[in-house]
């Protein structure tokens, strides 16, 4: 009789609890879904646009002579193209090799003003700059990544010469020998990543040619594209 009495007593206790248990089982999951995301929750990782281990950049623009009269007097700015391969040293530093080819257009008007009675010989100059590069990215994780750099290498000019003998007198109108000289440059620019592997780039470079009385200081301004390999 005690067992039957105990079972009946337990049944009377469980019956009122059934609605409460139902509310808990249904309400707790719904309450959890409705709660806002905690501020302490880990943020969703953002896309990182940092330059990759190996990159190729191709650019084009203008190069102009600034200092020595030997080049500046009869040649002016001209188109130039550049290419570079860079490799990763660490998160901020890249190193690599590159090259730049520039053409300097002959200034017909300047020559005619200086030598009005002399027949012109139009000769355009071409300079080839091959260099080793070191670049420091200031904010490498951003989509817009500024950088500064330094380069050292060799500049080769094609050369130009105009000499004539007039009334037994030898005249030299211009003479730029085809020679190679040590050159160094500093650069600064900006990469803007349109995707994780492609960036648009603008860059400026100031180059000095050592022991060259004709060339001296050159400035190049380029825009181009950078690819991650």
Tell which residue, 223, 163, 176, has the closest CA to residue 75: 176
> What pLDDT is recorded for position 16?
54
DSSP 91: S
Structural domain boundaries enclosing 133: 54-228
Beta-sheet strands, E only, within the chain: 54-65, 75-76, 78-88, 93-106, 125-137, 144-157, 160-166, 169-176, 180-193, 198-209, 217-228
28 within some domain: no
221 within some domain: yes
State percent of the chain over pLDDT 70.
77
Tell which residue, 163, 165, 138, has the closest CA to residue 149: 138
> What pLDDT is recorded for position 12?
52
Tell which residue, 218, 222, 186, has the closest CA to residue 202: 222
Distance separating alpha carbons of residues 153 and 214, to the nearest angstrom: 18
Q: Coil, strand or helix: which one is 107?
A: coil
pTM beyond 0.85, yes or no:
no
The yes-or-no verdict on residue 229 having pLDDT over 70 is: yes
Query: What is the tally of structural domains in the chain?
Result: 1
Q: Specify the range with the lowest mean pLDDT, choosing from 12-16, 109-113, 170-174, 221-225.
A: 12-16
68 within some domain: yes
**Residue 55: beta bridge partners?**
86, 228
Per-residue model confidence as pLDDT tens digits over 45-99: 455 565 567 999 999 999 999 989 889 999 999 999 999 999 999 989 999 999 9
Per-residue model confidence as pLDDT tens digits over 152-202: 999 999 989 998 887 778 888 999 999 999 999 999 999 999 988 899 999
State percent of the chain over pLDDT 90.
55
224 within some domain: yes
38 within some domain: no
| Beta carbons within 10 angstroms of residue 81's beta carbon | 16
30 within some domain: no
Residue 69: CATH number of its domain = 2.40.160.20
3 within some domain: no
Sequence-separated contacts (24+) of 176-179 with Cβ below 8 Å: 176/70, 176/71, 176/125, 176/214, 177/214, 179/212
25 within some domain: no
Contact 140, 51 (CB under 8 A): yes
82/142: higher pLDDT: 82
């Amino acid at each position: 009789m005690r067992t039957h009495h105990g079972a009946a007593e337990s049944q009377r206790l469980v019956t009122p609890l059934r609605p409460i248990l139902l509310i808990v089982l249904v309400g707790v999951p719904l309450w959890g879904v409705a709660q806002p995301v905690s501020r302490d929750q880990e943020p969703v990782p953002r896309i990182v646009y940092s330059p990759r281990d190996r990159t190729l950049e191709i650019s084009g623009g203008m190069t102009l002579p600034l200092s020595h009269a030997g080049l500046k007097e009869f040649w002016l700015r001209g188109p130039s193209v550049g290419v570079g391969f860079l490799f990763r040293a660490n998160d901020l530093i890249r190193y690599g090799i590159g090259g730049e080819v520039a053409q300097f257009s002959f200034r017909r008007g300047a020559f005619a003003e200086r030598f009005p009675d002399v027949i012109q010989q139009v000769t355009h100059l071409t300079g080839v700059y091959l260099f080793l590069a070191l670049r420091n990215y200031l904010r490498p994780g951003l989509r817009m990544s500024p950088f500064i750099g330094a380069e050292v290498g060799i500049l080769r000019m094609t050369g130009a010469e105009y000499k004539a003998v007039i009334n037994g007198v030898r005249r030299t109108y211009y003479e730029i020998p085809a020679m190679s000289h040590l050159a160094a440059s500093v650069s600064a620019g900006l990469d803007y990543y349109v995707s994780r592997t492609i960036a648009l780039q603008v860059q400026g470079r100031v180059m000095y040619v050592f022991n060259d009385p004709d060339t001296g200081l050159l400035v190049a301004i380029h825009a181009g594209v950078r690819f991650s390999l």
